[in-house]
Amino acid sequence: MTYTPILATLGYVLAPNGREVLMVHRNKRPDDLHYGKYNGLGGKLDPRESVADCMRREILEEAGIVVETLRLRGTISWPGFGKRGEDWFGFVFRIEQWRGTPHTGNHEGSLEWVERDKVLSLPLWESDRLFLPMVFDDSSAVFHGVMPYKNGKMVSWSYERF
C-alpha cells in the first residue's frame, strides 16, 4: 500500500516574553474536524512550496504576522487522521521571532494568547498532549513520531528524538 499523506505545517507562536503561546480556538465552523479544540496555526502545503514557506504563509494568513525565525521541533505521521480517514504528515514548528500585530481571529476561530504552562489544560486533541511538551522544551533534539488514528481516535504513539 502506497503512503501518500497530505503534507502540512503546524506552528506555535511564542509571545516576545516567551511565556505565552498564540493558539486558535476552533469555534467558527461546527463541521470542522477540530471544532471546539485549541490548536496551533498551520495548514496544507501548496505545490512548489517549501515546508518553511508554507509555515510562514499560514502564519501570515491566519494571524497576520510575519515570521522572522522558526524552529523545526518535530515531524508527525498521522495515518488515518483526516475526516474521511486520509493520512496526514505534519512538520511542527516553534515560532520565536515575528513582527506585526496578531489578528484576534480568523476563518477557523478566535486567536488567543495562552500561558505556556496552561496549554495542556485546554481542550486539545488528546494526542497533542503527548508531543506539545517537546515543542516547548529547550532540547535541541527534533522528534519524529507516528500517531495512527482510527475512527477519530489515536491508536498509538511512538517517536524518536535526535
Range 114-122 average pLDDT: 97
Give the Å distances, CA to CA, from 48 to 54, 147, 161: 10, 27, 28
Site of grid cell 461546527: 30
pLDDT (0 to 100) of residue 152: 85
pLDDT (0 to 100) of residue 23: 98
pLDDT (0 to 100) of residue 32: 77
Name which of 153, 22, 12, 18 is nearest 90 in CA terms. Answer: 12
Q: To which H or E segment does residue 130 belong?
A: helix 128-136
Judge whether residue 55 has pLDDT over 80.
Answer: yes
Quick one: pLDDT band at residue 13, thresholds 50, 70, 90? very high
Pick the CATH number of 6-161 from 3.40.50.450, 3.40.50.300, 3.90.79.10, 3.30.980.20: 3.90.79.10
pLDDT (0 to 100) of residue 16: 96
Cβ neighbors of 13 (< 8 A, separation 6 or more) are 21, 22, 40, 41, 59, 63, 65, 95, 98, 102
Grid cell at residue 78 = 498521522
pLDDT (0 to 100) of residue 31: 83
pLDDT tens digit string along 82-113? 888 999 999 999 999 999 999 999 989 999 99
